[in-house]
Amino acid sequence: MPADLASPPALQGAALIKDQVRRLPDAPGVYRMLGDDGEVLYVGKARSLKKRVGQYAQGRFHTQRVAHMVHLTRAMEFVSTKTETEALLLEINLIKQLKPRFNVQMRDDKSFPEILIRRDHSAPQIRKHRGAHTIPGDYFGPFASAWAVNRTVNSLQKAFLLRSCSDSVFETRTRPCMLHQIKRCSAPCVNLVTPEEYSALVEQAHDFLRGRSRAVMKALSDEMTAASEDLEFERAARLRDRIRALSSVSQEQSINPQSLEEADVFAVACEGGQACVQVFFFRAGQNWGNRAYFPKVANTIEGDDEAAGILDAFLGQFYDSQAIPRLILISHEVANRELLAEAFSLKAGHKVEIARPQRGEKADLVAHAQTNAREALGRKMAESSAQGRLLAGVCEAFGLEAPPERIEVYDNSHIMGTNAVGGMIVAGPDGFQKNQYRKFNIKSTELTPGDDYGMMREVLRRRFARLVKEEDAGEAPPRPDLVLVDGGKGQLDAALEVIADLGVEDVVFVGVAKGPDRDAGLERFFLPGKPPFMLEPKDPVLYYLQRLRDEAHRFAIGSHRVRRKVEMTRNPLDEIEGVGPGRKRALLHAFGSARGVSRAAVADLAKVEGVSDALAQRIFDFFRKS
C-alpha cells in the first residue's frame, strides 16, 4: 500500500527533513521516519510538528543513534492532531503496532504500562499495571512509559484521593499513612471517608480517565464555590488543590474515542486534478493508525459530487482484500451506499453499516480525517511538483524528447559469480513503483563466473523478449522511456547488443559509471554515439540519478542475499525422491548430518524408521552419483 511520502525521492536524511519542514504546520501531531522499502524507523509526537521535525534538520544530535536514524531516513509521514495529548496516545498506538527499531525505550517493554482502577475490593485501588487484563477493574492507557504513568497516578491521587497501597497494607493499617498527611489519600483504611464518599471519588476518577474531564472539573468547581459560600474555607482550599492537580491532564483524549469499538473512517480531499483518500482504522476502541491513498483520476476534480464518486469506487476496491468492520464512516454521501453495505455484509458474514455522521464524536472523527487528507494531498502535490522538475532535468541532461514517465534501472549482484541475481527497479512521476520491481535469477550455465556483461545481457534479454512477445500478442505491457544500467561503456554495449537483436526501438539506454574510487558525485554517463560526460557535483538531477542507482543496487544486493541464504540452508536430502520432512528429520537424527547420511551403508539406512530397503538403496545411490 502506498505511503504518504512528502518529499522528492532525490532527497534523503537531513536534506529531506529540511525540505519537509517548510510545509509542516505549527500544530501538534505525530511523525514517522521511513527508511528503505518503507520500513518505519521511528515514530514520534510533537507539540509543534514544524519545530520538532525542524530540529532533525539542524545536523546537531545528542547521540549517534539519532544521527544514524536521520541518515537512514528516506521519507516521512505526518498526522496532525488536536492536542499534544492526542499526539502522545496516537504515538503509543502506532509504536505498539509498527514496532519501529529506533524507538528503543518503548520497544524494549514487553507491554505498555496502563492505569488500573481495581474493582475487586470494597475500597478500589488505583495503580500502575502492565501485562494481561487478569485483574477485575477498569484499564486506561496505554502510556508511553512508566514515568508517564507514575506522574499521572500522582496527579490522580492528589485530585481524587484514591488509595495506592496493597491489600495487605490496607488491612493492617490502624492509623492514616503519610499519603493522607500530604493530602494524596482519603484514608479509607481507617474509615476517615465513608464507603459512599469513596465510591463517588472512584467514579469521578473513572469519568476523568474516560475523557469526561470538563464535567468532572465543573462539578469540583461548583462544589468549591458552594463550600466557599458556606464559609468552609479549608474544604474549598482542598477542592482548589484537587482542581489544580487535574490541570496537567485535563485535556479530553478523543484520539481513542469512546463511541467506537470497531470502525474505519474514510475522508476525501480533492484539488488540482488530484485526490487523496485518508483512512483511519479504529479497533478495540483505539486508533491503530492511518494510511493515505492517492487514486488516479482522469479529469479535474471540483465539488462534492466528484469526490463522492471517487470514494464510491474506492470503497469497493479497498475491501476487495481487506477485513470489513461493522461500521464504516465516510466524509461524502456515496450513491451506492446501501448496495455497498449489503455486499460487505454478505462478504463479512455480519451486518455492516456505512454512515455519514452529521454531529457528535463520529462527525469530529470524520472531520479530523478530512483535515489529514487535505494536508497529505498538499504534501503530495508539492512532491509531484518537485518530482516533475527533476524529470524535466533528466530529460534535458540526456536529450530526451519529453520527461520520462517510466525509468527502469538495472544492476547485478553476486559473490565470485555465485548466486548471481539481476535487479530491476522502476521510477516515475509518482516516485518509486515498488510493485513493478523485478528480480532475475541468473540461469545460464555458460557464463564465466563473474561475467557482469553476460549477466546484464541475460537480464535484459529476458526482460525485453517478454516485452516484445506481449506487444506482438496485442497486449500493452509497460514500456520504459529511459533505461539506466549500472556500469560504463562495456555494460552499455552489452545492453545495446541485446535490444538490437530484439528490434526494440524508442528506448533510450544510458550507462552510469561510478567515479574514481567509487566516489559519489563523480559519476560518468555514457550515451550511444556520444562522448561520456559528467553533471555538476551539486546538480539536483545528479542527486536524483544517484538515488535511482543506489536503489537498484540495494534491491539487487537484497535479492542476492535472499538467494544465498536459501542456498546455504539447502539440504541434499531435499533432492531425493521419497524423502519428505518426516524421513529427513529421522535420518538427520540418526546420523547427525547430511554428510553422515552420505557415508552410511544401505543396511544402516534401512534401520531408520520409515526408510524401506528400496528407499535406503535410492539414498545410497544418490550420494554415490553425486
Q: How far apart are the first and last CA of the chain?
A: 46
Q: Is residue 211 a contact partner of residue 253, using CB atoms and an 8 Å limit?
A: yes
CA-to-CA distance for 460 and 465, rounded, in angstroms?
8
DSSP 47: S
d(CA 175, CA 192): 10
Calpha distance 405→480 (Å, rounded): 8
- Tell how strand 407-415 and strand 418-428 pair up: antiparallel
Structure pTM? Answer: 0.49
pLDDT of residue 2: 43
Q: What is the mean pLDDT of residues 307-319?
A: 79
Q: What H or E segment, with its residue span, contains residue 229?
A: helix 213-229
Q: What does the alpha-carbon distance between residue 96 and residue 118 come to, in Å, rounded to a whole number?
A: 24
Give dist(CA 417, CA 519) in Å, integer. Answer: 24
Report pLDDT for 107. Answer: 32
pLDDT of 448 reads 75
Domains of the chain: 13-108 (3.40.1440.10), 114-249 (no CATH), 262-379 (3.30.420.10), 407-562 (3.30.420.340), 572-625 (1.10.150.20)
Whether 50 has a pLDDT exceeding 70, the answer reads yes
Residue 421, number of CB atoms within 10 A of its CB = 24
Rounded to 5°, the CA angle 93-97-100 comes to: 100
- Work out the average pLDDT over 55-73: 79
Q: Which of 481, 505, 463, 464 is nearest to 405 (CA)?
A: 481
Check whether 190 has a pLDDT greater than 50.
yes
pLDDT at position 5? 47
- Amino acid residing at 622: F
More confident residue, 514 or 255: 514
> Residues 403-432: what's their mean pLDDT?
86
Confidence at residue 302, expressed as pLDDT on a 0 to 100 scale? 47
Provide the pLDDT for residue 568.
61
Helix (H) or strand (E) holding 241: helix 233-246
Cell of 219: 462539578
DSSP β-ladder status, 262-271 and 524-526: unpaired
Per-residue pLDDT tens for 529-549? 889 888 888 788 888 898 898
pLDDT for res 383 = 73
For residue 469, pLDDT over 50 is answered with yes
Tell me the H-state helices in 328-451.
Answer: 337-348, 360-398
High-pLDDT (> 90) share of the chain, %: 9
Residue, of 244 and 70, whose pLDDT is higher: 70
Structure confidence by residue, pLDDT tens digits, 220-236:
777 778 777 777 777 67
CA distances from 127 to 140, 150, 153, 428 (A): 11, 9, 7, 54
Higher per-residue pLDDT: 141 or 115: 115
pLDDT at residue 283 in the model: 59
What CA–CA distance (Å, rounded) separates 383 from 75? 11
Q: What pLDDT is recorded for position 8?
A: 46
Distance from C-alpha of 397 to C-alpha of 579, rounded to nearest angstrom: 59
Give the pLDDT confidence of 543-586 residue by residue, as tens digits. Answer: 889 889 889 888 988 888 877 777 666 677 777 888 888 888 88
According to DSSP, residue 477 is labeled: -
Instruction: Round to whole Å and give the CA distance between 89 and 467.
Output: 50
Indicate if the pLDDT at residue 52 is higher than 80: yes
